[in-house]
Structure 1
Amino acid sequence: MNAGAPTILVADDHPLFREALKGAVEKLLPQARLVESENADSLFASAEAHPEADLLLLDLNMPGAHGFSALVHLRAAQPQLPVIVVSAREEAGVVRRALEHGAAGFIPKSSDPATIRAAIAAVLDGGHWSPPQAEHGEGLAPEEAHIAARIRELTPQQFRVLGMLGSGLLNKQIAHALGVSEATVKAHMTAILRKLGANNRTQAVLLAGRLALDPDAAIAAD
């Protein structure tokens, strides 16, 4: 942990749970500086603005951060930043996948404040923390690990474009949202397809869907 007041990033789209996390942090570390985010874009901006941050508490299902994609991207872009996943999904398989994607800890949202504080303290001390069910979860399937490695190669802007593709936006809409030209979006698309080994945008979205919490359901719904 950095000397002086630690900086903790709190990323969750539910204000009440953000308050609960902040309360747990403040009781453990009264001097901590807390930086809140309620969606993926604000989280990425906060992580870039605070490279010295000591910890990220990350919800898996914020807007723009579906499944493990944001965790995978952040672990590549900010490898010095420990991440604790905080999720209402408490199945053993979800916990194990989060840890194998690089999370230093996993806190179920049903945890009591004392457990949340214990997990945060363990990770800030350089350790790991996970609930007991992590031992019984299945690890990453080879295909998911392979896709995660490819996702790590995307630049932050390419990752945003891929997320917008998954939301069904067209190039023109993506260009408007990002404040860039359609030609720039097309260039990003070309790089995304190459890095993911995809032939078209539909296949790229399907590949990224392997990092969803329920990848088989996501693919079946497509």
Structure 2
Amino acid sequence: MLQPLKIIIADDHPLFRQALINILTSQFDGVTLLEAESVGQLEALLMAHDDADLLLLDLNIPNAHGFNTLVNIRNSYPQIGVLVISGQEDKVTVGKSISFGAAGFIPKSTAVDEMVKAIKAVLAGQQWIPHGCGDLASVTLDSMSSKIASLSPRQHRILMMFADGLLNKQIAYELGLSEATIKAHASAIFLKLGVHTRTQAVIAMSQLYLDQTPQPEQA
């Protein structure tokens, strides 16, 4: 007997989450829906529900650090499909989302029937790219982005905690590790990224932040 679908919605806008809930409950019988409005809540849900079928991820949820949360989830939970839903829909954002492991990308401006098609396509194991973004070959990752994406899940999590300003002692407590182990992980991170300090590592990590440059309006 097939288990009912389990879908996680990670978005910090209650109205948009409710809109997605309405769409999903009308399209999938018995679907289990779980909500997160921050990276902390999302991480807790993923740990408790690593059998989820799909994650609908807003790249701009608090503490996501741009594409870093997407990278961390794809490394830590490769069995869960990730469908990015974003208000930023330029070709670079779409291309990088796919390069960092998203199975698809839905602009928040997408009509409901298209959203449903996208979700069903990704659940069926297909990739979904918005209209007008079919050719993403020109969108390439820079060297530092590729290095950050190559970090282990634990290393990437620690790097994100560096960015949040946590001290080694605080990170050790949060992860249940010794401070010496955190220092060893930090050294490995610095080596992979070709940097020498936490500050340099955090600056390097900013390569995965979203481009906040306003997009020119279409004529």
TM-score if structure 1 supplies the norm length? 0.84
Q: Find the residue that maps to 2:88 and give its secondary structure.
A: coil
After superposition, the Cα gap between the structure-2 partners of 1:96 and 1:173, relative to the gap in structure 1 and judged at 3 Å, is same
Aligned residues: 212
Which position in structure 2 is the counterpart of 1:165? 162
Partner residue, 1:140: 140
Distance in 2 separating the partners of 1:61 and 1:127: 24
Equivalent residue for 1:205? 202
Q: Which structure 2 segments of 5+ residues have no match?
A: 214-219
Q: What secondary structure sits across from 1:213 in the alignment? A: coil
> In structure 2, the residue corresponding to 1:122 is in which secondary structure?
helix
Alignment check: 8 A CA contact 1:104 1:127 kept: yes
| Contact persistence 1:85–1:98 (CA under 8 A) | yes
Partner of 2:217: none
SS at match of 2:134: helix
- Does 2:34 correspond to 1:35? yes
| 1:185 CA drift (Å) | 4.2
CA deviation vs aligned residue, 1:60-92 (integer Å, no higher than 9, x gap) = 011221211111111111111111000000101
CA deviations over 1:19-69 (Å, ceiling 9, x no partner): 111111111113100111111122122122212111110010112212111
Superposition map of 1:106-121 within 5 A: 106-121=105-120
Distance in 2 (CA, whole Å) between partners of 1:179 and 1:132 is 45
What SS does structure 2 have at the residue aligned with 1:133? coil
Counterpart in 2 of 1:128? Answer: 127
CA offset at residue 131 of structure 1? Answer: 0.6
Residue in 2 aligned with 1:189? Answer: 186
CA distance in structure 1 between the partners assigned to 2:73 and 2:118 by the alignment: 20
CA distance in 1, matches of 2:143, 2:212: 11
Query: How far is 1:112 from its partner?
Result: 1.9
Cα-Cα RMSD: 2.5
**1:1-222 → structure 2 map (5 Å cutoff):** 3-137=2-136, 138-151=138-151, 153-155=152-154, 158-171=155-168, 174=171, 182-183=179-180, 185-214=182-211
Once the two structures are overlaid, the 10-residue window that deviates more, 165-174 or 69-78, is 165-174
- 2:144 and 2:18 map into 1 onto residues whose CA distance is 33
Structure 1, unaligned runs of 5 or more = 217-222
CA distance in 1, matches of 2:35, 2:192: 31
Q: Which moved more, 1:158-167 or 1:101-110?
A: 158-167
1:72-129 per-position Cα deviation (integer Å, ceiling 9, x unaligned): 1111111111110000001011111111211111010111221111110111111111
Partner Cα separation in structure 2 for residue 184 and residue 15 of structure 1? 39
Moved more, 18-27 or 174-183: 174-183
Q: What amino acid does structure 2 have at the position aligned with 1:19? A: Q
**Structure 1 residues 98 and 31: CA distance shift in structure 2, 3 A:** same
Determine which structure has the larger helix proportion and give its number: 1
Moved more, 6-15 or 36-45: 36-45
Identity %: 44
1:84–1:103 CA contact under 8 A, matched in 2: yes
Which 10-residue stretch deviates more, 172-181 or 205-214? 172-181
The DSSP-based 3-state class of the residue aligned with 2:33 is: strand
Contact 1:150 1:196 in 2 (8 A): no
